[in-house]
A and B are shown apart, each in its own frame.
Chain A
Amino acid sequence: MSDGTAGSAAQHDPQKQFDLSQRRLTTRQGIDTEELTGRTFPYQFDPGLVEDIDLLAATPGDDLNWLEDIHLMEEDGIPAVFDRYTNAFLKIHFDIPSGREDEFARKVLIKHLQEGNSYGIWLKHQHAKFPQPELGPWLEGSATVGENWTPPTVERWDKTFTF
């Protein structure tokens, strides 16, 4: 477990930590990461960008913890890892060394989460009801979201009713 610096959490402005203007929320009902986010990410194409990720340091406990359930899978005939926070597959377009399939799937997923690119997590800015760290257990000192939640309103909805 990383030793957090006291006072580091909840101090960051999400607008400064990540460029939120680069995030667009979809109005479609697609189920793939690329369709939901409208883009791809460099680490889907370059193994060098994920090679150094320390999976043990990135997970609680003395082994891989939740990553034990993460395996390299396939979507549309392309290797992919499942992002449970978005309920979508993230495709991996580089050649994965034989025998290291699960390792690279896990590293790509952790990179995706640590860089704040999981679409389901983007939704926290709009829908989180309680104050919480945006990137939870993956990034020390991540922004706080959910502090200013307001109930959604439906256009032309009138609360007055009669019996």
Chain B
Amino acid sequence: MVAMNPPTDQETRGRNDIRGLAEPDAEAPKVARVEGGTATFDAADLSPRLVNLELRRLIYAEGIREVRIENPGAKHSIAVGLLARCRITINGSLGYFGATLGDGPEIHITGRVGWSVAENMMSGVVVIDKNAGSLTGAAMRGGDLVVRGHVGARTGIDQKGGTIVVGGNAGSMTGFMMQRGRQIICGDVGPGMGDSMYDGEIYVGGTVAALGVDCIEAEMTPEDEELLDRKLGIYRIDRPDTFRKFVCGKQLYNYDNLEPSERKLVL
């Protein structure tokens, strides 16, 4: 048996600190220009870490409630983990995991986004003017996620609350393992829609290529119509003439039979 020196902190952590934080010594660049209560900064030469540090400085420390980011350059993980009421405009496109883990912010992205936009959002509003990639709104818990264009596969996978609105078409396995919440798809939806969903509602204005396991069509109610009118009205999306509603057939799962602690996991 050979005794080894324990690794140094630097060897253990590499580029990250013990919290898993990249660039742990980075500081907010303080490059924003504030005029009339709105802060604007250019993200072209900033790493994602620096962009997020600048956002937190403005929103948490300076109390700014309107921020505009120019030249986001499709960077990943921008505007994540913001826990305050504020409005952020991102003038361009984002890469993956944009606007995730938010609780309160209202974020407008004028371009496109990659995978998993608004993943795990607790509350707030995220609006994307163009298309979104796969896993849009994954594990979302609350708030509104609006994509005016098309979305990829597995939209709202593991969704536990909130409303996802898509102005165009959605890919395969939309609503896969959805547990609560609502999806409003104005266009067509690919195969496997609602596969293994536990609960929630998926409204479709176009055609559905094929339903997934245990997903069934249900009757529209006046409450459903009110929801559709309200959400599409708020976000100024043209409403298709008719919608069909799809829910869980509940042949595979029944929450009433679960232990109380398991039941709470999906509330």
Interface residues of B, Cβ cutoff 8 Å to A: 1-4, 6, 18-19, 21, 37, 56, 59-65, 81, 83-87, 103-106, 122-125, 141-144, 161-163, 180-181, 230-231, 234, 260-261, 264-265, 267
Contacts and interface: CB of A to CB of B under 8 A. Distances in A.
A93 interface: no
Given A31-B264, A65-B142, A82-B264, A60 B106 contact: yes
A137 B103 CA distance: 7
A130 B37 CA distance: 26
A7 B62 contact: yes
A66 B140 CA distance: 11
Contacts, number: 125
Contacts of B59: 9
**Interface core residue of A5, A63, A137 (most chain B CB under 10 Å):** A137
**Interface core residue of B37, B59, B104, B260 (most chain A CB under 10 Å):** B104
A61 B234 contact: yes
Interface string A76-87: 000000101001
A114 interface: no
A66 B2 CA distance: 57
B19 A130 contact: yes
**Shortest 6 CB-CB distances between A and B: which pairs?**
A137-B104, A66-B142, A66-B123, A136-B83, A69-B161, A6-B63
Given A61-B143, A69-B161, A2 B84 contact: no
**Interface core residue of B3, B181, B267 (most chain A CB under 10 Å):** B267
13 contacts: A1-B85, A4-B86, A9-B59, A60-B85, A61-B144, A68-B162, A84-B141, A84-B267, A87-B265, A136-B103, A137-B83, A162-B3, A163-B2
Interface string A57-97: 00111110110110001000000001010011000000000
Contacts of A6: 37, 62-64
Chain A contact patch, size range: 35 or more
Nearest to B56: A131
Interface of A: 1-10, 31, 59-63, 65-66, 68-69, 73, 82, 84, 87-88, 129-133, 136-137, 140-141, 144, 149, 151, 159-163
Contacts of B21: 130
